[in-house]
Chain A
Amino acid sequence: MRDYRDILGGLSLILIGLYAAIYSFVLLRIGSLSNMGPGFAPASMGIILVFLGLGIMVPAFLRAGAWPSGDLRAFLAVSASVATFAILLRPFGLIPAIFGLTFVAYLSDDSMTLLGRLCVAAGLCLGATLIFVVALGVQIPILNWPW
């Protein structure tokens, strides 16, 4: 009988807090109240976070709860699609990056046909070029060939 969701959440906060506090104590000057160094705020926030994490984790051991559940496939596909855009944009330009983004994002569900996906990607390329490059004058190469 344990609330694993809050145990996990509390534990993550404790680890982040510890990390921030240790980083500040080791690498930054803490200083004193009348003359605070750069480490004062992050160290104190880290310590407070450890206590808040404990406050979330400890009661969770005493009550029932569900395992955290999420949509792993959508999570991976969407994160990867944004990362794909970031990787393709500089070397290849806007249009390949948008095609990459769209097709990787569609790995999350099967509801669209290949033609549908192509249409959406093409539409987005046209829209992005018109809005950002033509209308707003953003400096992005539309199509690039790095070699």
Chain B
Amino acid sequence: MYDSLLDNISLGFSTAVSAVNIFWCFAGVLLGTFVGVIPGIGALAAISMLFPITFMLDPTSALIMLGGIYYGSTYGGSTASILLNLPGTPATAVTCLDGYPMAQQGRAAVALLMTTVASFVGGSLGVVITMLFAPVISEVALKFGPAEYFSLMLVGLIAASVISSGSPVKSVAMVVLGILFGLVGIDIYSGTSRFTYGAFELIEGINLVALAMGLFGVAEVIASIRRAGITEVDKSINLRSMLPTRDDVRRSVFPLLRGTMIGSFFGALPGTGGSIASFMSYAAEKKIARDPSRFGNGAIEGIMGPESANNAADQTAFIPTLTLGIPGSATMALMLGVLIIHGMAPGPTLMLEHPDLFWGVIMSFWIGNLMLLLLNIPLIGVWVRVLQIPFPILYPSILMFICVGVFTVNNSTFDVMTVVVFGILGYGMRILDFPPAPLLLGFVLGPMMEENFRRALLISRGDLTTFVERPISMAFVLITVALLAWSAWMSYRSHRAHRARTVEVSGSPD
């Protein structure tokens, strides 16, 4: 299988270095860094805003640009984490823990440079891992039937729900709600309209872009409006002050490599991604450190591990998306949407039928990561200034992009009203502490799951054991059960610990 790897790499490279694709790659990473730097709008909001623009591009350029936004935002996200103690994107939240203390010690420039290096190394190694593993996985996936697909998507959704930071029941509930929204529209088997209420705009289903922009864009804007403007930012950041000490470099090497491994693993799992990877990497570094008390006080290991982990995860997240057609995260669900809108069937055959797209996109990640390295080091001063743009100027612009963007998808003001509905839902969910990402994941996977579930049971004549009789499917089902049991046990334990604490407190003479 690997004899053709070199051919594929050269095919991908020639696709990626065409002037058009280099331009879109550059536009993507630049914009990605920009939205990453600004706390409040992340890659998901930016990708849903620019989603309509990609209709005018060919699918390869579209994925290259959206991919650039995706991993570019993770580069930029650490800037806000370090300078403001405010995560630019969720995946860089953990960088605040040691990045901000470094900034307070006057070492902001060193932290910014080193996180860029960590992002570059993590990202590049993540690309290598993607190149090596994607062909193998797509080979295996060619043997998958509907039962395997259903079970795999089930694992992905359950993993996404129970490994996330919040309440697993709430996450699962959002997945189910998302599946319900995904079922709106015509049923392909019987031609029956479901939940359309006579609106012909709903026959083809709820518009993915409108749903994503409402849930993430509009709800995010509402929540960020009261955020105070940033006035004071360290002006002393220049190339000279970025130089790390020899001790910094020595301490960074191993966390960087470990972070990359952890990130690559969690990125490739469907359902998990950069945020979880960066937390896992931080926990691992703290656990194996000789002096854990340095963490939280500006330990450079505490930024190098997570920053390489989240960027590696960004790259390997493309493995399940492009080889199986199963998006590992909400952002990947949008990428998949691009392929579907361009009439391509995502799945194991994608790599065989469109090798130029597959390898072109992967190779563009190299170019994008290199651009980000070159872009970030001299431009850190510029990104610091971006933090000072007052939000009252920014948010009408974000709303305008959302509105015009969603309108252009179908030339439909109905879709713009859909944004309003999902903006209201998204803000309500935020207030009631429900996570929006599982909803989007359920929305995209729901119809695929229904189709595969139905097909599997049609083949087995209604026999549910088909999901455990086929070995690959059984493995997925077992993992799902194990994940659920683990999550139930963890919440039981934390519940007991909580109760023990309450009893202790109420029992103490106060």
Where the two chains meet, the residues of A that have a C-beta atom closer than 8 Å to any C-beta of B are 5-6, 8-9, 12-13, 16, 20, 23-24, 28-29, 32-42, 45-46, 48-49, 52-53, 55-56, 68-71, 74-75, 78-79, 81-83, 85-87, 89-90, 94, 97-98, 101-102, 105-106, 108-109, 111-112, 116, 120-121, 124, 127-128, 132, 136-140
Count residues on chain B whose CB falls below 8 Å from chain A CBs: 63
Where the two chains meet, the residues of B that have a C-beta atom closer than 8 Å to any C-beta of A are 53, 56, 167, 169-170, 172-173, 176-177, 179-180, 183, 187, 189-190, 192, 194-195, 218, 221-223, 225-226, 390, 392-393, 395-397, 399-400, 402-404, 407-408, 411, 413, 416-417, 419-420, 423-424, 427-428, 430-434, 446, 450, 453-454, 457-458, 460-464
Q: A68-B432, A85-B400, A111-B390 are in contact. List 4 more A-B contacts (CB 8 A).
A: A6-B433, A24-B194, A69-B431, A102-B400
What residue of chain B has the Cβ atom nearest to residue A7's Cβ? B432
Given the complex, which residues of A lie within 8 Å of B464, measured CB to CB? 33
**Is A81 within 8 A of B399, CB to CB?**
yes
Bound state CA distance, A98 and B402, in angstroms? Answer: 12
Bound state CA distance, A56 and B170, in angstroms? Answer: 7
- Contact check: which of B180, B189, B407 meets A42 at CB < 8 Å? B180
Bound state CA distance, A121 and B53, in angstroms? Answer: 22
Most A CB contacts (10 A, CB to CB) among B417, B431, B457 go to B431
Given the complex, which residues of A lie within 8 Å of B420, measured CB to CB? 79, 82-83, 86
How many cross-chain pairs have Cβ atoms below 8 Å apart between A and B?
180
**Is B225 within 8 A of A36, CB to CB?**
no
Given the complex, which residues of B lie within 8 Å of A112, measured CB to CB? 392
| CB of A120, distance to nearest CB on chain B (Å) | 6
Given the complex, which residues of B lie within 8 Å of A13, measured CB to CB? 173, 177
**Is A52 within 8 A of B53, CB to CB?**
no
- Contact check: which of A33, A75, A111 meets B457 at CB < 8 Å? A33
**Is B404 within 8 A of A132, CB to CB?**
yes
**Is A82 within 8 A of B416, CB to CB?**
yes
- Contact check: which of A28, A34, A42, A68 meets B458 at CB < 8 Å? A34
**Is B172 within 8 A of A52, CB to CB?**
yes
Given A78-B218, A81-B399, answer yes or no on A49-B423 (Cβ-Cβ < 8 Å).
Answer: no
- Contact check: which of B177, B408, B431 meets A132 at CB < 8 Å? B408
| CB of B192, distance to nearest CB on chain A (Å) | 4
**Is B431 within 8 A of A70, CB to CB?**
yes
What residue of chain B has the Cβ atom nearest to residue A86's Cβ? B416
Given the complex, which residues of A lie within 8 Å of B395, measured CB to CB? 78, 105
Given the complex, which residues of B lie within 8 Å of A70, measured CB to CB? 427, 430-431
**Is B176 within 8 A of A49, CB to CB?**
yes
Given the complex, which residues of A lie within 8 Å of B176, measured CB to CB? 45, 48-49, 52
- Contact check: which of B194, B195, B423, B462 meets A34 at CB < 8 Å? B462
